[in-house]
Amino acid sequence: MGFATDAIHAGQEPDPTTGAIITPIYQTSTYVQQGLGRHRGFEYGRTQNPTRSAVEANIAALEKGIGALAFSSGMAAISAVVTFVKQGERVVVTEDLYGGTYRLFERVLTQFGIRFSYVDSSRFDEVEKAMGEDVTLVFLETPTNPVLRLTDVKAVSDLAHRFKARVVVDNTFMSPFFQRPLELDADMVLHSATKYLNGHSDSIGGVVVAARKEDAEHLAFVQNAVGAILSPFDSWLLLRGTKTLALRMERHNTNAVALAAFLSKHPKVQKVYYPGLPEHPGHELAKQQMSGFGGMLSFETGSLEAAQRVLEGARVFSLAESLGGVESLISHPATMTHASIPVEDRLRFGVTEGLVRLSVGVEDLEDLQADLDQALAKA
Ligand SMILES: Cc1ncc(COP(=O)(O)O)c(C=O)c1O
């Protein structure tokens, strides 16, 4: 089936008791068993839930994986992935990644003897230099948050596999509609499902999809053992969200392509970061490994003062953290999403005080453009 058909139907059978077309919210903590050791595959709500299973099957189909596991947040999903790494082993990580991921790695997981090497993974030679026998996981974010650097997933996966390391890609920014890392030989793909997969800014969630059965089984074990599960109601919201993923992503993309072109000609804008622009260093790679450029873009205003005037002057774009919802958001990575990254590191990636990030929504393009124009006039 095609993507949009799978998005609506995969993992979803009419409810066996009533025929309800929409998977019900199975809001239950336990299931009555017919006898000792005799049950219908459902024993306890943390371990199995039909609403959660439906959304997991749905997202596994969209990412072309063998199985998916849904967690209570994107961070819980990332924590589950890192359980593949043992004490003393090392993870090679894209350096300019989501600040919360960096915080988890540096302030929580280093306490357990796991080591992290941060590299500019858009440069293959840098990844190559960082690899070693002690590396068991390569953690990629592509495009990166917020300066949208791209990593060649196929090339890095081939390299990592020579070292018997797994590759996981945080695919939050593109969604499976525009990028499917498992088809590029990554071993796992994860999402902050809070973002495009949900699409309506009304729930927090995370998901990991595995290419191999044994990895999916390990993740299911961890999901149950740790217990950071996606609730039945949040699973239902996510399932409702993925139904319109194809439609939404197309519109996010068209709006962002047009706004990136508008901003790159704007006299108050010094630089635009968007893989859809021909001058973006990852543009050719973007055309190969993605089928669109997505709805995220950032631009440089030159100073904190200018950025602040744009951020506070926007009316249709709301000043808020997060991304991927139908409504357009504007944010300031240096003080919001990336505040946990040391200043000298974030400056190296281009996360300056003048950098503004947009999550371009699905509103009318004319309104979005007019809003940025009036906000920039104040900068
Ligand atoms: C790229 C990326 N990965 C992971 C996360 C973490 O997800 P969550 O906020 O759902 O825990 C975020 C959150 O902003 C993100 O942008």
pLDDT at 339: 87
Check pocket membership of 206 for ligand 1, CB cut-off 6 A.
Answer: yes
Residue 41, judged by CB atoms within 10 A of its CB (0-12, 13-18, 19+), counts as exposed
Check pocket membership of 157 for ligand 1, CB cut-off 6 A.
Answer: no
Beta strands in 274-360 (DSSP E): 296-300, 318-319, 329-331, 355-359
pLDDT at 340: 81
Reduce the DSSP state of residue 68 to 3 states and report it. strand
Cβ pair 277, 264 in contact under 8 A: yes
Instruction: Find, among 25, 4, 22, the residue nearest to 13 by Cα.
Output: 22
Check pocket membership of 168 for ligand 1, CB cut-off 6 A.
Answer: no
- Report d(CA 183, CA 187) in Å as an integer: 9
The residue whose CB lies within 8 Å of the most ligand 1 atoms, and thus the one to mutate among 71, 145, 338, is 145
pLDDT at 177: 98
Backbone angles phi, psi at 356, to 5 degrees: -120, 135
First to last CA, the chain: 48
CA 200 – ligand 1 centroid, Å? 15
pLDDT at 312: 97
Q: Is 98 a catalytic residue?
A: yes
Cβ pair 100, 77 in contact under 8 A: no
Q: Is 234 a catalytic residue?
A: no
Q: Is 46 a catalytic residue?
A: yes
Cβ pair 121, 135 in contact under 8 A: no
Catalytic residue among 96, 120, 152, 170: 170
pLDDT at 235: 98
Catalytic residue among 46, 103, 115, 212: 46
Q: Is 103 a catalytic residue?
A: no
Catalytic residue among 6, 52, 90, 98: 98
Cβ pair 333, 357 in contact under 8 A: yes
Please state the length of the chain: 379
pLDDT at 217: 98
- Report d(CA 43, CA 58) in Å as an integer: 22
Check pocket membership of 145 for ligand 1, CB cut-off 6 A.
Answer: yes
Catalytic residue among 149, 166, 195, 248: 195
Residue ID of nearest Cα to ligand 1 atom 3: 192
CA 366 – ligand 1 centroid, Å? 29
Tokens in use for 160? 């990592």
Residue 208, judged by CB atoms within 10 A of its CB (0-12, 13-18, 19+), counts as buried
- Report d(CA 88, CA 102) in Å as an integer: 18
Reduce the DSSP state of residue 144 to 3 states and report it. coil
pLDDT at 341: 82
**How do the pLDDT tens digits run along the chain, 379 residues long?**
999 999 999 999 999 899 999 999 999 999 999 999 999 999 999 999 999 999 999 999 999 999 999 999 999 999 999 999 999 999 999 998 998 999 999 999 999 999 999 999 999 999 999 999 999 999 999 999 899 999 999 999 999 999 999 999 999 999 999 999 999 999 999 999 999 999 999 999 999 999 999 999 999 999 999 999 999 999 999 999 999 999 999 999 999 999 999 999 999 999 999 999 999 999 999 999 999 999 999 999 999 999 999 999 999 999 999 999 999 999 999 999 888 888 998 898 899 999 999 999 999 999 999 999 999 999 8
Cβ pair 197, 175 in contact under 8 A: yes
- Report d(CA 80, CA 176) in Å as an integer: 20
